[in-house]
Amino acid sequence: MSTTTITSEKTTANTQSTPVPITVAYGDGIGPEIMQATLDIIKAAGANVAIEIIEIGEKVYLSGNSAGIAPEAWESLRRTKVFLKAPITTPQGGGFKSLNVTTRKMLGLYANVRPCVSYHPFVATKHPVMDVIIVRENEEDLYAGIEHQQTPEVVQCLKLITRPGTEKIVRYAFEYARQYGRKKVTCFSKDNIMKQTDGLFHKVFDEIGEEYPDLEKEHWIVDIGAAKLADTPENFDVIVMPNLYGDILSDVAAQITGSVGLAGSANIGEEVAMFEAIHGSAPRRAGQNLANPSGLLLGAVQMLVHIGQGDIAERVHNAWLKTLEDGIHTYDIFQEGVSKEKVGTKEFAQAVIARVGQKPSQLKAVSYANAQKTIQVKLKPAVPVKMETVGVDVFLYCEDRDAQKLGEKLETIKSEDFKLYMVTNRGVKVYPNGLPETFCTDHWRVRFKAEKHVNYTQIIKLLQQVTEGGFEIIKTENLCRFDGVDVFSAGQGA
Ligand code: NAD
C-alpha cells in the first residue's frame, strides 16, 4: 500500500468563524505549482478553510495502487466532503484506472458544472461574447461501464438513462440558473433517434421545466445544437445534457472561449463535491514556473461559493479578471500588442493578490451575492406504474447470414404464448419481407410478442423451445408496457 500523508494546516486570513475543512491534492506535473498559487490567492482574499493534504496520482499508481488513491485519502474526502484537486498524470500502459472516473462514481458526483467564458479582447477568441454554463450528467449514459462482446463480430455498451438520475441533473441545472441569475436553460438530446433513453431525458426536462416559469426553456437535437453552440455561443446560457454529449461539448465550449487553460469545473454530489481545472498535468511545463493557474483558481472560486464563502469567491474572481484586464498574462495567453507583461505562475498569483478588493472595468465583474449556498436537489416521489410484459426480444448468435432461412426455421417453433413478430439485424428488420441489400452480421434479434401479459416462467419455456430448436441464445430483453404504453423501440423498417 502506498503512503498517503494527511497533514492539516489552518489558514489565518479569516479566523472569525470555524474554518471549513477541505481536502487538497497537489497532483502531478504542473499541479503543485498551480495549487500553491491558487491557495495563496484564496488565502490572501480571506478564505476560511482548514486544509487536509492527500496524495493521489502518479506516485500512488506507481506504488502498485491501480486506482491512484489510497484508503486514507478516501477517509479524508468523506470527512471534509470538499475536494480541491490539481491535475494528475495517469501513467502510460494498461491497468491504471482513471482517478477522475473512480472519484465521480464512488462519491456520487452527479453534476459536472463547467463555466465557459470568453475574455475578449484580453484573451484571443473567435467568440467575443460567450458566457455559457455546461451542466453535464456525470454518472450514467454510456459511462455506466457495462460492455460485453456478444458474438465474434459484435460488442455492446449499455446506455443507461434513469428517471432519478435525469431528474437530479435537470433540477440542478434549473436551480443553478436561478441561483446565478441566468435566464435560459437549454437541453441537448438525441431523442429523435434514441426515443426511450434520450426521450426520457427530454421528457423529464420538460416536466421539471414547468416548475421554473421564471426561466426560458428550449431543447435542441444535440447535433444541430452543438453546431449552433460552436457557431453562435452567445445565444446560449445554461445547457444541460447527458454524459457523453456533455463530455465532448464541454471541451468544445471551453476551447472556443480561447483557451482550455482558463476553465475550472465542479463535480457536485449529494454529499461530496470536487473542484478542479479542466486541463491536465502538462508534464513538459512542470517545475518551470510557467503554468497558468487560472483554471484551478476558477475551480476554487466555485468551491468557495459551494462552502458558503461567496463573498470571498467574488473578491478572488474579480481580482483575477482585473489581472487579465491589466494585461498580466502567462505564456499560454500572452499576445503581443494586447498583453502588458509576460509572467510566471508565482508572479501571476502575486498580481492577483495585489488586486484583491478591485473590480475589472472592461470585463464584466462577477457577483455571488445570491449564490451563497450549496444547491440542494430534492426528487419527486416515484409515481407507481402498471407494468406488463408483452413479449421478449431474444438475441441469437448465428453465422449463416441468410435471414429468410433463419426466419423460416424460427417459424417452426410452436409456442402457446408467443408469436414470432420479426427478426432484425443491427436494428433493421430482415424477416419477414426483408431486403436482400441489408448487410447482416452474426448477431440477430428475434422479437416474440404475446397477446396479453406474460410471466417469466412463460418466457423461460419459450427460451427452452428456442434452444431445443438448435438456436444459440446470447441474451434476452423483456418487452414492457407501462400504463398501457409500449416502452420499447420498433424495428427499423418494421
Ligand atoms: P494537458 O491539458 O496536460 O496539456 C495540453 C496542452 O495544454 C499542453 O501543451 C500543455 O502544456 C498546455 N497546458 C495545459 N494546462 C496548462 C496550464 N495550466 N498552463 C499552461 N499551459 C497548459 O493534456 P495532456 O498533455 O493530454 O495530458 C497530460 C497528462 O494530464 C496526462 O497524464 C493525462 O492523463 C493527464 N490529465 C489529467 C487530467 C486531470 O487530472 N483532471 C485531465 C486531463 C489530462
Residue 28's contacts (CB-CB under 8 Å, 6 or more residues apart) are 57, 58, 59, 86, 87, 88, 89, 281, 283, 286
The confidence band for 369, taking pLDDT boundaries of 50, 70 and 90, is confident
DSSP class of residue 250? H
* DSSP result, 98-129: PHHHHHHHHTT--EEEEEEE--TTTS--S-SS
For residue 7, the model assigns a pLDDT of 44
Give the separation between CA 458 and CA 450, rounded to whole angstroms. 10
What the block records as the C-alpha cell of 229 is 453552440
Give the pLDDT confidence score for residue 187 in this predicted structure: 98
**Residues 274, 107: contact at Cβ < 8 Å?**
yes
Mean pLDDT of the chain: 93
pLDDT average, residue stretch 85-108: 86
| 8-state DSSP, 442 | S
Neighbour count for residue 228 (Cβ, 10 Å): 14
Helix, strand, coil percentages (3-state) for the chain, rounded to 5, are 35, 25, 40
Ligand 1, pocket-test mutation among 26, 38, 279, 333, most atoms within 8 A of CB:
279
pLDDT per residue as tens digits for the range 250-281: 999 999 998 888 999 999 999 999 999 999 99
* pLDDT given at position 2: 39
Pocket residue to mutate for ligand 1, from 259, 281, 290, 331, most atoms within 8 A of Cβ: 281
- Count Cα neighbours of 262 within 13 Å in the Cβ-side half-sphere: 28
Rounded distance from Cα 320 to ligand 1 centre (Å): 21
Q: pTM, whole model, 2 decimals?
A: 0.92
Asked whether residue 40 carries a pLDDT value surpassing 60, the answer given is yes
Exposed/middle/buried for 251, CB within 10 Å: 0-12, 13-18, 19+? middle
d(CA 348, CA 37): 8
pLDDT surpassing 80 at residue 140: yes
Helix intervals (H) in 81-212: 99-106, 163-179, 197-209
CATH architecture assignment, domain 387-486: 2-Layer Sandwich (3.30)
Residue 148 in grid coordinates: 460485453
- pLDDT beyond 80 at 493: no
Write the pLDDT tens digit of every residue in 180-217. 999 999 999 999 999 999 999 999 999 999 999 999 99
- What are the pLDDT digits (tens) for 292-319? 999 999 999 999 999 999 999 999 999 9
pLDDT of residue 16: 60
CATH: 1.10.357.10, 3.40.50.720, 2.40.70.10, 3.40.718.10. Which one for 2-354? 3.40.718.10
* Reported confidence tier of residue 372, pLDDT bands at 50, 70, 90: low
Above pLDDT 90, what percent of the chain?
Answer: 86
89 Cα–ligand 1 center, Å: 9
Indicate which residue's Cα is closest to atom 13 of ligand 1: 282
Average of pLDDT values for 44-67?
A: 94
Dist. CA 444 → ligand 1 center (Å): 43
What is the 260 CA–ligand 1 centroid distance (Å)?
Answer: 9
Q: Is the pLDDT of residue 13 over 60?
A: no
**Ligand 1 binding residues, C-beta < 6 A:** 30, 34, 87-90, 100, 261, 276, 279-285, 291-292, 295, 332
**Domain segments of the chain as ranges:** 2-354, 387-486
> Quick one: 145 exposed, middle or buried, by C-beta within 10 A (0-12, 13-18, 19+)?
exposed
Cα–Cα distance, 278 to 293 (Å, whole number): 11
